[in-house]
Amino acid sequence: MLKVTILGSGGAIPRTCRELVSALIEVDRYRILIDPSEGVTRRLEAIGVSALRLTHVMVTHLHADHVNGLPGLLATMLMLSRVTPLTIIGPVGISDLVPASVNSSFKVNLIELKPTDKVTLIDAADNVELRYVTTRHTIQNNSYLVTLKRPVGRFNPVKARELGVPVAYWRRIQMGETVKLPDGRVIEPSMIMDDIGAKSLSVAYTGDTAPSGSLVDLARGSTILIHDSSYLPSDVNEARSRGHSTCVDAALDAREAGVGLLVLTHISYRYGCEYHWDFLKCAASIFPRTLVASDGLVISV
């Protein structure tokens, strides 16, 4: 299962109805916090997730509203006597926000990502893969993709035995891989699997970005796309000058990428919660499978 919790859906300045932007992705045995904004430790506690349970912290960029909660989060881990390793991923410069004293208590695996316009693998372990690409903002912004590889359907051992497929190949076929047997035969998953479906679940998270072809490449076919939607179309000129997207931009990216669900987030302070439906109508007219993020929104697939 893959679970996304929106911890904050606002942009730059918090409001009573929208905390600063942040999200938690729970997938397999990983708990991945994206954009540790101010107050995020308290918001994690509110949903019953201790800072000690986080396995990864991923930062899209170094603007204050996306990263100011990191020092406090690490201090909380120290005070709670964390001993398990933590992976912190971010753009060049993220290391400056991680005190050296942290490593005296627990190991920090710090990964600084250089700018790239090509979708790039960061890490792969178990059935989870992390990728990124740099998108269009006023400073380096990394958009991320978290992918859970899963069996493509229900494995039918009777079919496998009838075809004479050695057991050593069963797991690879179950995970969607086409294999070549020692006798030269090629076995595709559809020849053995029942109830064939998607072989992965994935979440793309944009951070702050203007429309970007590299973002579409990253998000292509993803289950969920969580997209910067700072502005309504009437403020498109400001969106462009500040390196952000409108709800129209987000919907067009979602449609081009062929995603399963679009979630609009990073709503500008200027729009109160009464603008919820304006954002929804704007994007849904282009991409019907759209939600407007609200703090505490949970999506499980």
Predicted local distance difference test score (pLDDT) of residue 52: 95
Same domain, 104 and 224: yes
Residue 65 designated active-site: yes
State the average pLDDT for the chain.
Answer: 93
Side chain identity at 27, as an amino acid letter? V
Confidence label for 154 from pLDDT (cuts 50, 70 and 90)? confident
Confidence label for 64 from pLDDT (cuts 50, 70 and 90)? very high
Predicted local distance difference test score (pLDDT) of residue 145: 98
Q: How many domains does the chain have?
A: 2
Lowest-pLDDT range of 100-104, 227-231, 268-272, 293-297: 100-104
pLDDT tens-digit series, residues 163-194 = 999 999 988 888 778 899 999 999 988 898 88
Residue whose C-alpha is closest to residue 289's, from 246, 257, 241:
257
Interhelix angle 276-284/247-257, rounded to 10 degrees, is 40
Predicted local distance difference test score (pLDDT) of residue 104: 73
Same domain, 208 and 164: no
Confidence label for 151 from pLDDT (cuts 50, 70 and 90)? low
Q: Domain ends where: 161, 182, 198?
A: 198
Q: Check which CATH number belongs to the domain holding 279 and give it.
A: 3.60.15.10
Same domain, 46 and 145: yes
Percent above pLDDT 70 for the chain:
99
Predicted local distance difference test score (pLDDT) of residue 152: 67
Whether residue 132 has pLDDT greater than 80 = yes
Q: Domain ends where: 198, 222, 257?
A: 198
Predicted local distance difference test score (pLDDT) of residue 190: 85
Predicted local distance difference test score (pLDDT) of residue 103: 72
Percent above pLDDT 90 for the chain:
80
pLDDT tens-digit series, residues 3-57 = 999 999 999 888 888 999 999 999 989 999 999 999 999 999 999 999 999 999 9
State the residue range of the domain holding 60: 2-150+199-300
Q: Domain ends where: 183, 198, 213?
A: 198
Same domain, 78 and 6: yes
Same domain, 83 and 187: no
Predicted local distance difference test score (pLDDT) of residue 126: 78
Question: What DSSP string describes the chain?
Answer: -EEEEEEE-EESS-BTTBPBPEEEEEETTEEEEE---TTHHHHHHHTT--GGG--EEE-S--SHHHHTTHHHHHHHHHHTT--S-EEEEEETTGGGGS-GGGGGTS-EEEEEE---SS-EEEEEETTEEEEEEEEBSSS-EEEEEEEEE--SSEE-HHHHHHTT--GGGHHHHHTT--EE-TTS-EE-GGGTEES---SEEEEEE--S-B--HHHHHHHTT-SEEEEE--B-GGGHHHHHHHT--BHHHHHHHHHHHT-SEEEEE-EETTS-GGGHHHHHHHHHTT-SSEEE--TT-EEE-
Whether residue 137 has pLDDT greater than 70 = yes
Confidence label for 195 from pLDDT (cuts 50, 70 and 90)? confident
pLDDT tens-digit series, residues 198-251 = 778 999 999 999 999 999 999 999 999 999 999 999 999 999 999 999 999 999
Same domain, 28 and 121: yes
105: its two tokens: 């208590």
Same domain, 123 and 168: no
Same domain, 182 and 296: no
Q: Which of 65, 208, 228, 295 is catalytic?
A: 65
Residue whose C-alpha is closest to residue 252's, from 271, 266, 270, 233:
233
Predicted local distance difference test score (pLDDT) of residue 9: 96
Same domain, 136 and 87: yes
Same domain, 119 and 72: yes
100: its two tokens: 């050296």
Same domain, 193 and 204: no
